[in-house]
Structure 1
Amino acid sequence: MDQVRIDNTKEYPYLFSPLKVGKYLIKNRVIALPVHTGFAHKDGRVSSWMINFYAGLANSGPGMVIVANAAVSQDGQVSEFNLRADRDEFIPGLGKLAKAIKQKGALACLQLNHAGRFARTAHPLLPSPITSSNLSFNVESLKGFMAFFPFEQRFSLTKNFFNQVKTWRYAMTDEDRQRVINDFAAAAFRAYQAGFDMVEFHGANGYLLCQYLSPFTNRTESGSGCDFKSRTAFSLEIIRAAKKKLPKDFPMG
């Protein structure tokens, strides 16, 4: 079967042109975005399956590949097979992964994350306690989500969700916050040591940094949402701490 090539260069004239980011020249503006795979070993090490997967992505032609969801703390993992960057023992595997991506002509970026309330731990970390009484959700949106699952699974999903809500009762202490700030900075330095060209701090999808940024999950003692300056303070502290450890020309996002 003949391949059909779609030429979008007229509509998007800069799509395949190089882009300068710090000291790097990205060959085009196509980025392989971070999508959690669960391809790591159970102990968080890089697996050959993960290396082959990301090398394949890089070989498809993007200017940069972002490796998804490396946990910065043992208590910040999203899944059972979560990639980890919280100890030096993970650097060799991360190095092999970065090398495999770069050998295919793409820049390698490592996304760093702490899952916060969604972490696989009995006592997840949160900016503020969340209970069923102050949990904000859209009923119609929830119905639409549940419709994707077979009817017999919906009750267990609801039960599991509210069992998870029961663990969202404890706000992070100053000591917890400082530890996680240090964990992010240390993980960023490990990414640099492993040969990644840049790092991305995961601030979306309801994970810890996102929880700090949202007025629904970062509240004052009176229950109202914190102001913008207060909500961004934690992320900015992480960036400052990482900058102290990394070369000045090492990009972060």
Structure 2
Amino acid sequence: MARPRVWIVEDDRAVADALQVLLSCAGYDASTFTEGRAAIRALSTTSPDLILLDLNLPDIDGLEVCQAARALPDYTPVVMLTARSDPVDRLIGLEVGADVYLTKPFEPRALLAQIKAIFRLVERFGHRDSDGVVPRVAALPLTNGPIVMWEAERRVEVQGRRVELTPKEYELLRLMLRHPGRAFGRETLLRAVWGYDFGGESRTLDVHIQRLRQKIEDDPAQPRWLLTVRGFGYKLVAEQSAEDRDAR
């Protein structure tokens, strides 16, 4: 079986060389691009199985490379690996289309774990090319614990069972799935889902959260995933945090 192809888009030669050695030893076919435009040109003729992307490139912003990858008919996972550590930069990177956003300096084992997790998702939810070797997907689903969301189809499953959500329930869940572990204030959720000019009662949010819990929780009265942040709002517990909590 062919080795998964990983492109490293990184202008720092020392970092790029270290990544190439790390990935090659882990069984990946790694190639390096030191400029963003070169990577975009290569994307016009072929596509890798995953892109490791720095944002501070010498010719263009790495976000443009991510946008070019997202314009491809086949979904190419993107891991942003950058020195930009501001939370706003992270949100922008994820909104542009990154699957994972990691900051430098990075832990090599953590990076490999993230890459392996992405390929597990591709294997689980993708299909194989005509050569039967490389898995490809139209888009990776959003996942957290038992919850899986296919955005292109607006389809949600919980523990393998399809659940029907109203449009507002869907938007609430999608926002939280994109940022597991983040606590959202009530006003933030109302503006994001109902719009900046929403003039209704905040009780509307509580009702939708209750209904959403009934659809995604085993016990809505004692939720495991969709929690209340007292005096602030709500959050979707990240999968690892929930597992650690259950182990205690």
TM-score, with structure 1 as normaliser: 0.27
Q: Greater share of strand residues, 1 or 2?
A: 2
TM-score, with structure 2 as normaliser: 0.27
